[in-house]
Amino acid sequence: MSEEIHPLPISSNRLVRFEDLGSRDYKECWDFQESLFQNIVDRKLAKRLDPTAEENQENHLLFVEHPHVYTLGKSGDQKHLLLNEEQLKKVNASFYPINRGGDITYHGPGQIVGYPIFDLELFFTDIHLYLRFLEEAIILTLAEYGIKAGRIDGLTGVWLDETHPIKARKIAALGVKCSRWVTLHGFAFNVHPDMQYFTNIIPCGISDKPVTSMEKELGYAPDIEEVKVKLKGHIQHLFGITFQS
């Protein structure tokens, strides 16, 4: 499926603080996200109760690589995790049921995990469009490496050979939460992760479509720091944001 996305004009109200957290424990990062999220929500509630209070202009974009971890969205099925507790220990992985949408996914080294904590009332109040914008940033990044990607109608994420029922494969997964139009969680983009870890789950609960990575498609592992720079630039352009230092 092809969907035309039009970038937003740059606005001085859409200020975003960017942080690359490097390698960070999943639970530690989740707690950090929640604190940023709650701060924005609290500011919005304060403004609603007191119109003279300061307007919220705070947004965040976090990039991180997690140690091996499986996360299960609130609508997911734990049967899609194919390992028991002892087996998780053997592969040095952890597991967390979390409060985003979607099913089970894997995070690990060699994967860019992005957490935009955006007040969508500063952008647009459309969660469907928000997901399409995140997908588009990844699609544009892949295009810079000669990888053609797109979407599959009815499924979130970024796909290769998306129009082919047999060859279609996922290269990026999305799962978000939105409350009071403030977003939490985000995307996982496979640059050069250990793909063996995906065999321990039914990724996103989809058993008939495999997962892939940039390394698998290109035949070499691209520099993940370079990919981050390109991805960050596309997010900035599409959402019309200004990054704060």
Q: Which are the catalytic amino acids?
A: 204
User: Which string of DSSP letters, residue by residue, matches 99-166?
Assistant: SSSS-EEEE-TTEEEEEEE-BGGGT-S-HHHHHHHHHHHHHHHHHTTT--EEEETTEEEEEESTT-TT
The answer to whether 67 touches 25, Cβ cutoff 8 Å, is yes
Phi, psi of 188 (to 5 degrees): -130, 120
Residue with token string 């499986």: 70
User: Which string of DSSP letters, residue by residue, matches 178-217?
Assistant: EETTEEEEEEEEESS--GGGGGGB-GGG-SSS-B--HHHH
The answer to whether 138 touches 158, Cβ cutoff 8 Å, is yes
Chain mean position to CA 157 = 9
Phi, psi of 166 (to 5 degrees): -95, -45
